[in-house]
């Protein structure tokens, strides 16, 4: 069971419609102890800074 989950929005740059995410994966996750901030990056190069509440 995952501790948390996040869905990266992946719109097509031309049409604006959501693209198929079946081939995407999280390629990097980083956080610092005593912090509620998490950095996640997926296989398409999107980087998100998330706050865990």
pLDDT computed for residue 21 by the predictor: 64
Find the distance separating the first CA and the last CA of the chain, reported in whole Å.
18
Note the residue count of the chain: 53
Q: Is the dihedral of CA 42, 46, 49, 53 positive or negative?
A: negative
Mean pLDDT to the nearest integer, 1-22: 72
Q: What is the pLDDT of residues 20-39, one digit of tens each?
A: 666 667 677 878 888 889 88
Question: Cα angle at 1 between 27 and 38, to 5 degrees?
Answer: 40
Q: What is the mean pLDDT of the chain?
A: 77
Task: Say which residue the tokens 């610092």 belong to.
Answer: 32
């Amino acid at each position: 069971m995952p501790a948390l989950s996040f869905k990266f929005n992946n719109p097509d740059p031309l049409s604006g419609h959501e693209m198929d995410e079946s081939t995407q994966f999280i390629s990097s996750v980083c956080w610092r102890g005593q912090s509620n901030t998490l950095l996640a990056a997926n296989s398409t190069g999107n980087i998100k800074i998330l706050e865990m509440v």
